[in-house]
Structure 1
Amino acid sequence: MPGQDDLEREFDLKWADDAAHKEPSARARMLAARWKENPPGPVPFRADPDRVASPRSSWLSTALVLGCVAAVILLLGYARFRAQY
């Protein structure tokens, strides 16, 4: 508001922040209306025990990543060795 000084503007901000009723955002209103007609299903906080990766696949993926890193290191070392001669 162009005609207000800082003290009046600060008062307006405090007054707005202290309001007893705060209107929800447009997204919150849209989701509330949508969920009133078709409520969302429950969503688990943790993954299903059936879908958890087995320890074998965990080790396999770790070995694959470490193998790729070792291959890149060897390839860069070989390229540097070839560049010297």
Structure 2
Amino acid sequence: MTEQGDGEREFDIKWADDAAHKEPSARARMLAARWKENPPGPVPFRGDPDPVRHGRHRSWISTVVVLGSVAAIIVLLGYVNLRGSY
């Protein structure tokens, strides 16, 4: 099999891009097949900014846990550094 030059390869890419019929991707084919059997429900243009009230409460808890862990590590490292300097 002969090697194609850059000019010929570029022509082939242009030819493929200009094709009248393009095959959909595997994901598009999978979703189309799935949606034939079970179509998705309507989705609003913009989702509800606060769909679940307790979701925001959990984010504060996780923020406090992360910041508390960072503060505990800083204190622990300071203590270790203080004990090692004697």
The residue that corresponds to 2:9 in the other structure is 9
Structure of higher RCO (CA pairs closer than 8 Å, 6+ residues apart) = 1
Relative distance call for 1:61 and 1:36 in structure 2 (3 A) is closer
Q: Which runs of 5+ in 2 are unaligned?
A: none
Which residues of structure 1 form unaligned runs of 5+?
none
Deviating runs (4+, > 6 A) in structure 1? none
1:10 CA drift (Å): 1.8
In 2, distance between residues paired with 1:9 and 1:63?
A: 57
Aligned residues: 82
Q: Write the distance in 1 (CA, Å) between the matches of 2:8 and 2:64.
A: 65
Cα distance change on mapping 1:78 and 1:23 into 2, 3 Å: same
Q: TM-score, normalised by structure 2?
A: 0.67
1:40-80 Cα shifts (integer Å, max 9, x gaps): 234565356351415xx73x554443333222211111111
Other structure's SS at 2:10 match: helix
TM-score by length of 1: 0.68
Instruction: Give per-residue Cα distances to partners, 1:13-49, cap 9 Å, x unaligned.
Output: 1111111221101221121111111112345653563
